[in-house]
Structure 1
Amino acid sequence: MVPRTTTSEAPMTAPLHTLDATTLARALAARELKAETLAQALTERALALGPRLHAWAHLDAAAARRRARALDQAAAGGSASGALHGLPLGIKDNIDTAGLPTAYGSAVYAGHVPQADAAVVALARAAGAWVMGKTACTEFANMTPCATRNPHVPAHTPGGSSSGSAAAVAAGLVPLALGTQTAGSVIRPAAFCGTVGYKPSPRRLPRAGAKPNSDTLDEIGVLARSVADAALLSGVLGAWGAGPAPRLGGDAATPRLGVTLTSRAQALSAPMVAMVEDAAARLSAAGATMQLAVWPEGFDSLFDAQRTVQVFETAMALAAERQYRRRQLSAGLRALLDEGAALPAAAYAAALSTAQATGLRIEELFGQAEVLLTPAAPGAAPRSLRQTGDPAFNRPWQLLGCPCLTLPGGLDAQGLPLGLQLVARPGQDARLFEVAAWVEERLEARTITHAACGD
C-alpha cells in the first residue's frame, strides 16, 4: 500500500526523464513525487521530440495527465496500491488498450478503439500503472516499418516490430513499455536503441488481447531502462509463474556462463564480435565460470524452421485481412501472407518437428552454463528507415522457447548501441534475471539517453 502521509512533494535532483522506474516508484510511493508532475515532464518531452522520433502512435498529453492526476487523488485518499503505483507505461499499438486508439500498425484498423484491455494492460493498471500512450509498431507487427526513428542516430532504424516502445524508453519519453516478439521484435529494437529488453519463456506473460501473428511463437515482452525495472514490470505480469521472484544484487550466486556466436558468426560486424568477446573476458575476470558453447550439429535448421512456422501461422492469423482488406496491406506484407498461404502443411509440420527435436538436445548447447552470451543482432542498427534489421540472431531462441534478455553493450564508432543477448533454458526466467543483474553491474551496462534526443 502507498502510505498515508502529509509530506509535501520534494524536488527531484535529476531530470525526471533520466530516472529509471524503480527510482521513480520509490519516490511516488513515498509521496516525494506526484504522478501528475511526472506526467507533465514526460508529455512535454514527448511533444518536443515527437516530430523527430515518431515513437507514439497515439499520445493525448492532456488525457495522460488526467490519468496520472486520478492516481494522485487515490493516493491522497489512501486507496492507491500496487508495485507500479504512479508509473507511466507505453503500450505497443498491437496490444488492446481500452478507450485508446489501437490500430495494430495498419490503416485497416484506423480509428479502432478497443472496449477492453489486453490482459497485460489490465494487470499493469491493477498494480497502479497508468497508460501514457500507444507506441508505434510495424504493420501488424511484421516487417514493414513504421515512421519511428532511432533516438541515437535518427537516420538509422530503431528496429522492429516494437519500434516505438524501444525508442520511447531509450529517449526518456517513458520509463517502461510493452512490446511483442514473434522472431526478434523486442530483443532487436532493444539492442538497436540501447535499452534492456526481455522476451519470456512461452506463455509466461498472458497474450490475450494482443493481435496474433503466430500461436506458436508470439510472446509479450518488456522494454525498460534497467534489469531491475524490467523485473519490476515482468513480475506484476506473471513472469515468475509459481516460483520465487529473482534475487537481484549481492545475494545472487556467481553465474556459469557460455558464449556462442551461433553458426552465423560470418554475418556479424567486427564491433559486435569484439563487444561479445570483451564482455566475456570482463565477466570471467569478475569471477564468472566461462565456457565456449559449441553450436551442435543440426541446430542450423532452427533458423529456417522458425521462419517457416512464423510465415505459415501469420498467413492463418491474418487470413481475414488478406482476403478482405488486401489493397490496404503493404506490398511486402501481401507477399509474405501469400508465401505463407502457399506453404505445404508438410513443411510446417516438419518445422515444428525440428523445434521439438532440437529442444530435446538443448543440453548439448548449454552444457554446464546457466546462461549463454550471444549477439542480439548482427551489429548496430542499419542506416535505413525502410527496413528494421535482420532477426537471424533471435530466430533459434524464439523457436526453442528460451527466455532472452538484451543488455546495452556500449556504442560503436558511430554512436550506435550494440546489444548483448543473454539466453537461458526454457522456464529459467527468474535465474536469467539474476544473472542479467550480475552482468549488468559488472559491465556497467546502462541505457544511455543520447544527445540526438535533445539532451
Structure 2
Amino acid sequence: MAGQMMSLAALVAARESGRQEPDQMVELARDAARRHDSEIKAFSHLAENPAIPREGPLAGVAIGVKDILDTFDMPTTYGSDIYAGYRPKTDAAIVALARRRGATILGKTVTTEFAYFDAGPTVNPHDHAHTPGGSSSGSAAAIAAGMIPAAIGAQTGGSVIRPASFCGVAGYKPSYRLLPSTGMKHFAPSLDTVGLFAASIADVALFAHLLTGRPLNPEPVEPATTRVGIYFCAELESADPEMQQALERAAEAATAAGFLLMAVSEPEENARARQAHTTLQNYEAGMSCGPDLALYEERMGKKLVATVKEGIAIPPSVYDDARRAAKRGRGATRKLFDEVDILLTPSAPGAAPEGLSFTGDPRFNKLWTLMGTPTVNIPCFKTKSGLPLGIQAVARFGKDRELLSVAMALEQAFAERG
C-alpha cells in the first residue's frame, strides 16, 4: 500500500526554521527510496552520491526526474533498451533550472518507452496489481510511495494528470511552454509539456513557485465570485460509474463551499479538436521517432512501432487539417473562459486499471494538452476498493496561479465532504 507522503511545504518550513539541514532532508528521501523502491520500481536510476546544495529555494529538496529528460551525470534511457547506458553531455533545461535553484536530483524516474504506451516495471503504490499510469509512471508512484517530496514529468496526451489520478497525488501540467522542454526526448513537440508532481495542490504549487521563481503560490480565493463549470462532453458518458459519482460529489462540495457552479457544454470545435489530437501526435511522432525506427525497429515496443509507422504514413495535408481544427478549438476554448473561471472534468475514465501492461486512457486529458491550457489533478476521492479517483481542474491559458489557487480551495472542500 502507499506510504505516508512527504510534504514539500513541511520540509521547506523545517529548513527555514533551522530544524532540518539540507543534507538531512535529502537523506530522508534516500532512506525512503532504499526501503521502498525495490517493490515500487519507480526509479530507473538512483544517484549514488547526489550533490546537495546548501543554498537556493530548493536546497535540501530531493526530486525525481522523468527519464525522457537529459541528465549529464546519470544515464538517460528514455525508457528504451536502445539507449541503455546513454549519457548526455548536458542537462535538459528544466533539470539545469532545478539544480540552479538548489534541488538535489535523487534519480531518474521510470517512463514508458519514449513516453508512449509500452509500459515499464513500476507498480501502483496503492495496489501493486494495478498500473500507476503513464507515461510519467515513476514520478507519480515515487510521490505516492513517500520516497520524494517532488518530481518532474511530462505530458503529451495525459501523462501527468492520469498517473497523478491513479496514484492519488497532485499532478500539474502548466500552460504550454511555461516550463522549458529543451533536452527532452520529444514525441510530439507541439504537445509535449513538462509537468510537476507533489503530494497536494499546496505542495505542487510551492514546487512550481520555488522552481521557476514565478508567482505561482496560491492566493486566497473568493468562492462567491469564482465561476466553476462542470464540463459536459460526449466522453463523460464513458467514464466508470464511480468516477461519474466522484464528479457529482465534487460538484456538490464546490456548491457547499460557496462556488458559483454551472454546467458547461462542450463546443463542437473542441470535440473536433480532441479527435485531431491523435493525428497531430502521431504525425509528429513519425518525425521525432522515425530516425529511431529506421535503425532500431526490432528493439522498439510494438505499440510504439505501430504508432510511429502510422505517423510516417499520414499525409501533410491531413496533418495541416488537424492543425486547423486545433486552432479553431483554441478559439472556442478562449470563449469558454469568458463565461467560466475553472472547468472540472474527470482526470481519467476511472481508477487505475488492473495489470501493468495498459497504462490507461487519456481521453479526458488530451484536449487540454492540445489547447495548451493549464490543468491539475486534485487528489480527492477513492473507489470502494480504496483506489484513488482524481478530478481535473482546467483554467484559461496563462492563468496558472488562478488555477492552483482555486484547485487548492477545492481540494479542501472535497476533503471536508469526504
TM-score normalised by structure 1 residue count: 0.87
Task: State the Cα deviation string for residues 337-379 of structure 1 (Å, max 9, x = none).
Answer: 1000011111111111001012112255445210001001000
Q: Identify the residue that residue 30 of structure 1 maps to in structure 2.
A: 17
- Aligned-partner Cα distance in 2 for 1:220–1:48: 28
Equivalent in the alignment of 1:169: 143
Give the Å deviation of 1:253: 7.8
Q: In structure 2, what is the equivalent of residue 54 of structure 1?
A: 41
What are the equivalent positions in structure 2 for 1:84-99 lying under 5 Å apart?
84-99=58-73
The answer (yes or no) to whether the contact 1:409–1:445 under 8 Å persists in 2 is no
* 1:128-277 map, 5 Å: 128-238=102-212, 240=214, 244-249=215-220, 254-277=225-248
CA distance in 2, matches of 1:391, 1:439: 23
Aligned twin of 2:380: 409
**Partner SS for 1:134:** strand
C-alpha separation in 1, matches of 2:220 and 2:106: 30
Distance change >3 Å, CA 154–CA 421, structure 1 → 2: same
Question: Once the two structures are superposed, what CA deviation does each residue of 1:27-71 show, in whole Å capped at 9, x if it has no partner?
Answer: 1233211233233332222222222211000013x413xx23xx3
| Matched-pair contact (CA < 8 Å) for 1:179–1:222 | yes
- 1:212 aligned counterpart, secondary structure: coil
Q: Which residue of 2 aligns with 1:452?
A: none
Q: Counterpart of 1:262 in structure 2: which amino acid?
A: C
Aligned residue number for residue 49 of structure 2: 63
The code of the aligned residue for 1:356 comes to K
Identify if the C-alpha distance between structure 1 residues 298 and 360 changes in structure 2 by more than 3 Å, giving closer, same or farther: closer
Q: Does the Cα contact within 8 Å between 2:5 and 2:144 map onto a contact in 1?
A: no
What's the offset of the Cα at 1:303?
Answer: 2.3
Q: What does residue 10 of structure 1 align with? A: none
| Contact preservation (8 Å) 2:65, 2:109 | yes
Give the deviation of 1:17 after TM superposition.
Answer: 5.8
Distance in 2 (alpha carbons) for counterparts of 1:363 and 1:129: 36
1:328 aligns with 2:299: yes
User: 1:284 matched to which residue of 2?
Assistant: 255
Q: List alignment gaps of at least 5 residues for structure 2.
A: none
- Indicate yes or no: 2:371 matched with 1:375: no
Q: How large is the RMSD of aligned CA atoms in angstroms? A: 1.9
Aligned AA for 1:433? L
Cα distance per residue 1:66-123 (max 9 Å; x no partner): x23xx3xxx4xxxx2x221111100000111120111110011100112211111111
Match of 2:270 among 289, 299, 324: 299
* Contact 1:204–1:239 under 8 Å retained in 2: no
Matches within 5 A, 1:115-126: 115-126=89-100
Q: 2:79, 2:16 → 1: CA distance? A: 35
Counterpart in the other structure of 1:39: 26
Question: How far off is 1:445 after superposition?
Answer: 8.4
User: Residues 445 and 183 (structure 1 numbering): CA distance in 2 closer, same or farther, change over 3 Å?
Assistant: farther
Structure 2 letter corresponding to 1:311: N
- Find the counterpart in structure 1 of residue 281 from structure 2: 310
Distance in structure 2 (CA, Å) of the matches to 1:94 and 1:445 = 38
Structure of larger gyration radius = 1
Q: Counterparts of 2:345 and 2:394 in 1: how far apart (Å)?
A: 8
Specify the SS of the correspondent of 2:268. Answer: coil
Aligned to 1:433: 404
Alpha-carbon distance in structure 2 between the residues aligned to 1:394 and 1:169: 21
Closer, same or farther: CA 19–147 of 1 in aligned 2, 3 Å = closer
1:228 and 1:248 in contact (8 A); partners too: no
Q: Deviations over 1:249-308 (max 9, x none)?
A: 468985210001421122101110111111111111111001101112342212220011
Q: Once superposed, which parts of structure 1, at least 4 consecutive aligned residues long, lie more than 4 Å away?
A: 250-254
Secondary structure of the equivalent of 1:111? Answer: coil
In structure 2, relative to structure 1, the CA distance for the partners of 1:145 and 1:237 (3 Å cut) is same
